[in-house]
Amino acid sequence: MAPSLSDIMTPDAAELARAAGGGASAPLEMGSPGHDLFVGLARLGDNTLILGHRVSEWCGHAPVLEEDIALANMALDLIGQTQLWLGLAGEVEGRGRSADDLAFLRDAWHFYNILLVERPNRDFGHTLMRQFLFDAWHQPMLKALEGSSDARIAEVAMKAGKEVAYHIERSADLVIRLGDGTEESHARMQDALDRLWPYAGEMFIGDEIDARLAEAGTIPAPESLRGAWDETVNAVLAEATLTRPDSGFAHKGGRQGRHTEHMGHILSSMQWLQRAYPGATW
Amino acid sequence: MYAQMVKSEATNDDPEMLAAFQARIDAGEKIEPKDWMPEGYRKTLIRQIGQHAHSEIVGQLPEGNWITRAPTLERKAILLAKVQDEAGHGLYLYCAAETLGISRDEMTEMLLSGRMKYSSIFNYPTLNWADIGAVGWLVDGAAIMNQVPLQRTSFGPYSRAMIRICKEESFHQRQGYDIMMKMAQGTPEQKQMAQDALNRYWYPSLMMFGPSDKDSVHSAQSMAWKIKINTNDELRQKFVDQTVQQAKYLGLTIPDLALKWNEEKGGHDFSEPDWSEFYEVLKGNGPCNTDRIEARQKAWEDGAWFREGLMAHAKKAEARRASAKVAAE
Ligand SMILES: [Fe+2]
Ligand SMILES: [Fe+2]
Ligand SMILES: [Fe+2]
């Protein structure tokens, strides 16, 4: 039966959200240490999952064979890290959700990755620039996490750090070579930088959850990574003869579950089988 | 196979040199790139290794089609690792072919313009997740059948590439079979996907070995040169005999009513694939020929600025090093 107009007009947002299936599955009490840690870990694992997904879209379509190999390898690292971070998130949550449950059965508003990693691949220059801007953050983040007060986090960070040391070496090197290559490659890299720049700032903007995690010594405050990132980015852009945009504007929201339109499309392919055949094992 | 119907080139070299060359091959010696070789041997090998390399590269596409939709993180990781391996195989093989005096770019150019082929199998689509299982189980399985003996091929670089490749191929086949197992033992829908995948991939897999020996005109010379080790029919028979057992274990039905054990020959009787379909696929009329080649052309054309950028940078860096050296002197 169609609802009457007055039902539709009911301004009870909480009731509507429950009816739509959101909110009702809030895993742990908001603000509890378990919930903070769950979100902190999901932020890490969702970044690697969504970036890994984007990178894997290149498989078989890269400009040279060596890049096909390198990108598949990088996507593989990122998916492997996702398994560890989301596995730990599920463990912390304590409701029996596995890394797969978290990856394949959450909707977009329960994903906490930054917007940068969901940006579309566009040309290879964009893909590389996105990777570089991310790697330049990812490396100091993992370095700091090696000193986490939570031994499980330190252990994952140690393993991931070895892989990411190679990622940043590679992405920085390619940004330099293409920035300082032909006129066209320079223009494409500058364009990629200009377009992606407004999505970089989100990496360094903390909220209360971040503050409490930093306070507990489990995950460093986003703001604390800015210096290391600036140093890497400035050095590489200078060598690449690229101009650092002077805008400080930052799109944000991903880390709180508010995403771009692209996110739904990523999930609709990524989660399709699990959603279409619930309960099957693969 | 990954190299099907490779035309062997006639050779009009000095008969004495030819005889000495054949004697080396018969004695089981490896031919190395700097050694004298008949022009026909060189050309046939370029065609065969090049076709094999192209197959690895184009072969990334049907499997890559499912990476973003893989149903679990582990399956996604395994599939990524496999597709990465295939690209690596392409790289080893291009390197082996390059020792014969052709560049990778030239071979790529020939692939993109249709002058060089890749295996017919990669012109078939991957339509459901079980196809990823079927490709590993059947397609990599058929490839292994052919590549294991090729480890003993007469051309050194090709033989060494095959040895490296074969190590990885058995992992490919096992992961494919593992997917099939999960699907065949899963929900009714999953079982249906598995059977559907087998139905569609069975005959195209048999085609991988190339036409029947009686219609295979180029085999004799290639076999004498040990760049082909077994005949097409020998390998196909071996593949069928092995696969029948594996399908039975999965509880799946091979789509061939004529399939039955023949005690006398010690192997199965089975139906030939539809060879007219095979020739149509080779002509470009398979379900995915256009998509596959277009995807490779697009990758190559879109990537031109990237390759040029890297080259320009290398030149600049070289010039800077040279002038720094002059300044220092
Ligand atoms: Fe391969
Ligand atoms: Fe293969
Ligand atoms: Fe393979």
Please tell me the distance in Å from B91's CA to the nearest CA on chain A. Answer: 7
Q: Which long-range contacts (CB under 8 A, 24 or more apart) does B74-81 make?
A: B74/A83, B74/A100, B75/A282, B75/B179, B76/A56, B76/A79, B77/A76, B77/A79, B77/A80, B77/A83, B78/B175, B79/B132, B80/A56, B80/A59, B80/A72, B80/A75, B80/A76, B80/A79, B81/A72, B81/A76
User: In terms of CATH architecture, what is A30-276?
Assistant: Up-down Bundle (1.20)
Separation of alpha carbons A37 and A210, rounded Å: 9
Task: Answer whether residue A158 shows pLDDT above 70.
Answer: yes
Tell me the pLDDT tens digit for each residue of A220-262.
Answer: 999 999 999 999 999 999 999 999 999 999 999 999 999 999 9
Per-residue tokens: A28:
């742990």
Tracing tokens 């090709």 back to the chain, one arrives at: B158
- Provide the pLDDT for residue A7: 52
**Dihedral angle, C-alpha B49, B54, B60, B62, nearest 10 °:** -110
Nearest to B218 by CA among B50, B47, B58, B94: B47
Interface-testing mutation among A182, A186, A239, A265, with chain B (most B C-beta atoms within 10 A): A182
Q: Which of A100, A184, A269 sits opposite B72 (nearest CB)?
A: A100
Task: Answer whether residue A141 shows pLDDT above 70.
Answer: yes
- Provide the pLDDT for residue A18: 47
Contact A104 B182 (CB under 8 A): no
Contact predicate A51/A88, CB 8 Å: no
Tell me the pLDDT tens digit for each residue of B283-304.
Answer: 999 999 999 999 999 999 999 9
- Provide the pLDDT for residue A46: 98
Q: Which of B64, B104, B189 sits opposite A59 (nearest CB)?
A: B64
Q: Which long-range contacts (CB under 8 A, 24 or more apart) does A226-229 make?
A: A228/A139, A228/A140, A229/A136, A229/A137, A229/A140, A229/A203, A229/A204
Tell me the pLDDT tens digit for each residue of A47-86.
Answer: 999 999 999 999 999 999 999 999 999 999 999 999 999 9
Tell me the pLDDT tens digit for each residue of A103-135.
Answer: 999 999 999 999 999 999 999 999 999 999 999
Contact predicate A123/A195, CB 8 Å: no
Contact B87 A68 (CB under 8 A): yes
Task: Answer whether residue B148 shows pLDDT above 50.
Answer: yes
Residues from chain B contacting residue A80 (CB–CB below 8 Å): 77
Give the model's confidence band at B6: pLDDT under 50 very low, under 70 low, under 90 confident, else very high. confident
Please tell me the distance in Å from B314's CA to the nearest CA on chain A. Answer: 8
Give the model's confidence band at B123: pLDDT under 50 very low, under 70 low, under 90 confident, else very high. very high
- Provide the pLDDT for residue B1: 59
- Provide the pLDDT for residue B12: 75
Q: For residue B267, report the phi and psi dihedrals to the nearest 5 degrees.
A: -160, 175
Residues from chain B contacting residue A122 (CB–CB below 8 Å): none
Q: Give the mean model confidence (pLDDT) for residues B47-76.
A: 98
Task: Answer whether residue A2 shows pLDDT above 70.
Answer: no
Distances (CA, A) of B111 to A244, B47, B119, B289, B291: 41, 11, 12, 12, 14
Separation of alpha carbons B191 and B182, rounded Å: 9
Give me the percent of chain B exceeding a pLDDT of 70: 99
Interface-testing mutation among B85, B94, B306, with chain A (most A C-beta atoms within 10 A): B306
Contact A76 B182 (CB under 8 A): no
Q: Which residues surround ligand 1, an ion (CB under 5 A)?
A: B 56, 86, 89
Nearest to A121 by CA among A212, A52, A66: A52
Q: Which of A123, A177, A180 sits opposite B302 (nearest CB)?
A: A123
Contact predicate B196/B188, CB 8 Å: no
